[in-house]
Amino acid sequence: MRKDFVMPVLVLSLICLFVTGALAIGNSLTQPIIAAATAERARLTMREIIPQAENFEPLELEGKPRTIYAAYRTSNDVGYIFIVQTPGFGGYVRIICGVDPNGRVIRTAILSHGETPGFADPVFAESHSGRYWGQDKDGIETISIVTGSTVTSTAFKSGLRYALTAYEVVRSR
């Protein structure tokens, strides 16, 4: 009776150990590839947001909002890029926001999100997100959120607010 109990437990334990090891090896092999692809996508998106930028220089910001994932300055002083990570309905929303030297949103793009497809689409569509372009911190407050996607819409608006707060930190230095 003891053998009937021990053998299946041992076999299942070995299977679990093997699968865990295979997943760990697979993750370690694909993680650098995924990171490189994500960085390249962010670089291309930054070029789309500020096409007149010559290069992007990383900024180290003290006193920035903790939601700022990364910050860049253009080498020819035509603007700044802030990558913001803010909590949404289905996880984090990662937004790239371009800000001009006058503190106005140039353009925005979504890098990644875990929001519900269909419900979040109107928030991220250019017909809505484009209303923020050209707005300063006061101007974005006047734009209404999307009904039916309140949490996602609020997360998007908060992300832009965080980017403009980080811009103020940069400009005050």
Residue 76 is part of a domain; what is its CATH number?
A: 3.90.1010
Please indicate, yes or no, if residue 139 is contained in any of the structural domains: yes
pTM (global) more than 0.85: no
Beta bridge partners of 69: none
Please indicate, yes or no, if residue 151 is contained in any of the structural domains: yes
Strand locations in the chain (E): 56-58, 68-74, 80-87, 92-99, 105-112
pLDDT of residue 101: 94
Other C-beta atoms lying within 10 Å of the C-beta of residue 48: 11
Q: How far apart are CA 151 and CA 103, in angstroms?
A: 25
Q: How far apart are CA 39 and CA 12, in angstroms?
A: 39
The per-residue DSSP string of 119-130 comes to TSHHHHSHHHHG
pLDDT tens readout for residues 124-166: 888 888 899 999 999 988 888 888 888 888 999 999 999 999 9
**Higher pLDDT residue, 22 or 63?**
22
Q: How far apart are CA 47 and CA 63, in angstroms?
A: 26
Nearest to 73 by CA among 86, 60, 64: 60
Q: Which domain holds residue 149?
A: 48-172
Please indicate, yes or no, if residue 9 is contained in any of the structural domains: no
Please indicate, yes or no, if residue 71 is contained in any of the structural domains: yes
**Secondary structure of residue 39 in the 3-state scheme:** helix
pLDDT tens readout for residues 48-104: 999 999 999 998 877 666 888 889 999 999 999 999 999 988 889 999 999 999 999
pLDDT tens readout for residues 83-94: 999 998 888 999
pLDDT of residue 125: 86
Please indicate, yes or no, if residue 29 is contained in any of the structural domains: no
**Higher pLDDT residue, 139 or 6?**
139
pLDDT tens readout for residues 34-51: 888 888 888 889 999 999
> How many separate domains does the chain show?
1
pLDDT of residue 1: 57
Please indicate, yes or no, if residue 1 is contained in any of the structural domains: no
- Band of the pLDDT at 29, cuts 50, 70, 90? very high
Please indicate, yes or no, if residue 28 is contained in any of the structural domains: no
Please name the residue that has the structure tokens 């309905």.
89
